[in-house]
Amino acid sequence: MHLLEAQLNDFSAQTRHVALIALAKLAGEGKVPCSSVAEVANMHCHTFYSYNAYGYSPSGIAWLARSRGYKLMGIVDFDVLDGVDEFLEACDLVGVRGSAGLETRIYVPQFATREINSPGEPGVAYHMGIGFTSCTVPPEAQSILADMRQRAEQRNRDMLARLNGYLDPLKLDYDAEVLPLTPSGNATERHILAAYTRAAEQRVNDPLKFWSQKLDMEAEKLAEIMANPVNFHNHLRSKLMKRGGVGYVQPGADTFPEAEEVNRLTLACGALPCAAWLDGLSDGEQAMQELLQLLMDGGVVALNIIPDRNWNIADPELKRRKVQNLYEVVSLARALDLPLNVGTEMNSPGQKLVDDFSAPELEPLRQAFMDGAYFIYGHTLLQRLAGMGYQSEWARDFFPERSQRNVFYTQIGKVAHPGADILQQIRIEMSPEDVLKLLSELCSFSL
């Protein structure tokens, strides 16, 4: 079993597929222990197609959900849709309610002087599309996705050139030493960081002395940090790649696309533009209603939140402020009819595999979080089956108000269990009432 689970994260798609089929068969025969399904969800997990701190592939995340009993799971990767088909098919195979998305950064000219959710970068915001059903992009939007990927790669290459100059004699070849760390050539800052730390261990006689000099830090203090690889990687990234570091360049209006462009890609794919919230402390997020209304005018219909970093905090006063901000933004999202997409990211070591919705701080929000997860799964299911997702003409005809659509797709997500071939009986000629009735009957029967 352990070998099969390791093969789930192999860079070979065929190896992953064969391993998942074998594990699903063993689970069906009761030969692999799997936890009972629990009312939990993680709808924001990065895969190794951008960066996953635990090395999980889309298939690996689907199996993680199946084996741990996570009811709903969603992937999100930076600037690519490479894992969408694999993940949704894997979820079908192992019986997990799944969704797939894309994350990037945008420039918001109306907030050019205000920091939003990208620390230290006024006007720049993390932004998402959720509810994609395929990695195949319609022709009219292919250039947008290609441009996002090209921009990300150029930023990486430029950063590497600056770091190579500073870290000389330690230099990396981007094509030979960074790209091989990814399955499809979509590297991130964290891949670059991993390549540098590996190269230092292999090529430098005294890594501690080398990093002490380059980071201008006492060797004894740095040794304490290096004793914990997670802390060392975070420290190194902060010193070299983030604001003030030698590899960093302050982004401007031309660094990232604007929301309208990313939303065009998302909508062309039948998916849902989604705003992202950090913690409510920045100038931009203190004007959250203004920001959300602006983004909603451009097509945004959902809001992403990473709950754990807004309550699981040691400092009592900071925790109080962030928890209060979290409650307020959830209340605002409810008032604006924005379903929530929540998760842990998994793109930094130490991040949880799933949020603890039973924590006292999150318990009052549990239903809103779970409804959001059911909503995005419900949209994904109907869009995949019959092109009847949230953005479809079918949905708009029957539910002209977004609030009505939100309720319907949430109901679909709750009723329809995954991987049932009988769901192919759904047809676009059906009414929403007929769809819900059929799903209720078929899924109840197939259980």
Nearest to 386 by CA among 428, 422, 414, 417: 428
pLDDT, tens only, 199-208: 999 999 999 9
Tokens representing 97 are 């309610």
Whole-number Å distance between alpha carbons of 146 and 336: 32
Nearest to 344 by CA among 38, 17, 49, 65: 65
Q: Are 64 and 353 in contact (CB under 8 A)?
A: yes
pLDDT given at position 421: 65
**% of the chain with per-residue pLDDT over 70:** 98
pLDDT, tens only, 289-309: 999 999 999 999 999 999 999
Average of pLDDT values for 110-131? 97
- The band of 42, judged by pLDDT with boundaries at 50, 70 and 90, is very high
Average of pLDDT values for 352-375? 97
pLDDT, tens only, 179-228: 999 999 999 999 999 999 999 999 999 999 999 999 999 999 999 999 99
pLDDT, tens only, 339-349: 999 999 999 88
Residues 6+ apart with CB under 8 A from 28: none
Strands 124-130 and 272-277: antiparallel
Q: Alpha-carbon torsion 128, 129, 134, 138, what sign?
A: negative
pLDDT, tens only, 228-280: 988 899 899 999 999 889 999 999 889 999 999 999 999 999 999 999 999 99
pLDDT, tens only, 378-402: 999 999 988 999 999 999 999 999 9
Please say if the pLDDT value at position 104 is more than 60: yes
Tokens 């931009």: give the residue. Answer: 284
pLDDT given at position 447: 45
Whole-number Å distance between alpha carbons of 80 and 57: 14
pLDDT given at position 144: 97
- The band of 420, judged by pLDDT with boundaries at 50, 70 and 90, is low
Please say if the pLDDT value at position 8 is more than 50: yes
Instruction: Tell me the pTM.
Output: 0.95
**CATH level 2 (architecture), domain 36-137+269-418:** Alpha-Beta Barrel (3.20)
Strands 70-78 and 272-277: unpaired
pLDDT given at position 417: 87
Average of pLDDT values for 112-131? 97
Tell me the average pLDDT of the chain: 95
Whole-number Å distance between alpha carbons of 178 and 186: 10
- The band of 350, judged by pLDDT with boundaries at 50, 70 and 90, is confident
CA distances from 377 to 61, 268, 340, 344, 389 (A): 16, 19, 12, 17, 10
Please say if the pLDDT value at position 419 is more than 80: no
Please say if the pLDDT value at position 446 is more than 60: no
Q: Domain spans of the chain?
A: 1-33, 36-137+269-418, 147-240
Please say if the pLDDT value at position 101 is more than 60: yes
pLDDT, tens only, 131-162: 999 999 999 999 999 999 999 999 999 999 99
